[in-house]
Amino acid sequence: MSDDSAPLILLVDDEASLREPLAEYLVGQGFRVSAAESAAAARSRLVDERPDIALLDIMMPGEDGLSLTRHLVETRDLPVILLTARGEATDRIVGLEIGADDYVAKPFEPRELVARIRSVLRRASRAPQSAEDDWLYEFEGWRLDPLKRRLTDPDGTLVPISTAEFRMLHAFLDHARQVLDRDRLLDMVQGREAHLFDRAVDNQVSRLRRKLEEDSRNPRFIQTVRGGGYSFAADVRRVPGTQG
C-alpha cells in the first residue's frame, strides 16, 4: 500500500526496459511514481496529478525532454532532473539553461539517481516559513516576491521567470553590490552536487539579463566583473510582504 504523503515522481521515458524497472525501484525507495512513455502522455497526467519532481528523458520521439522541461519550468513550480544518454555537454547545458535542476547521464547508478532526487527535493522545499521571512525585494521599481516566486517590472507587469532564474536572481538580491564568482553562484543556486559547468552559469545570467535589462548587451543590473564573476549593481530594499 502506497504512502500518499510520499513524494510523487513524474517519470517520462519512451524505453519501457528502463522506465518500468526504474519505476519499481523508486517505489521501493519510498517514492510514488507516475510513469509516462512520452511528453504527450506526461502532459495528460499533469491535468489530474501534482508531482513533486519530474525525471525526463531528453531523447524521445515527438516532443523531446528539453521542450517538456521548458513547459514545466514556465508553467509550474516543478523541479526537473534530465536523463540523457549523450556524452556531449551541450544537451546538459541547454537543459540547465532553460531551468532544469540537475541531470543524470545514462547508464546511471540507481542509488546516485535517488540521492540526486532527494537533494533536488530538499533544495526545492527551502522556502521562507515564518512571517518574519515574508519579505519582498525591491530595486528601481522592480519587485520580487520570494514566497510566490513572482517578479514584476516597474509597470507592475508580471514577468515569467523559471525556477533557475528565480534562484539566481534571489542570490543576487541577497548579495547586492557584492562580487559573486561562479563557484559561489553554483553553491547558492544549484548546489555543489549538481556538477554544473561555468558556461551554464553564464547562460543563466544571460537569460536573466534578457528579463531585466533594456539592453542585455549593456547590462545595468547584472554586471560582469572581469576575472571575478558577477555583481548586482543596484540598491535593493527588503519590505514586509504585507505591503505587497
Task: Output the pLDDT for position 217.
Answer: 85
- Round to whole Å and give the CA distance between 202 and 200: 5
* Cβ 210 vs Cβ 97: under 8 Å: no
> pLDDT band for position 179 (50/70/90)?
very high
pLDDT for 11-24, tens place per residue?
999 999 999 999 99
Task: Output the pLDDT for position 1.
Answer: 47
- Round to whole Å and give the CA distance between 168 and 87: 27
pTM given for the model: 0.64
Q: Cis link prior to 107 (omega < 30° from 0)?
A: yes
pLDDT for 47-56, tens place per residue?
999 999 999 9
What are residue 210's phi and psi, to 5 degrees?
-65, -25
Task: Output the pLDDT for position 199.
Answer: 63
- Mean per-residue pLDDT, 17-45: 96
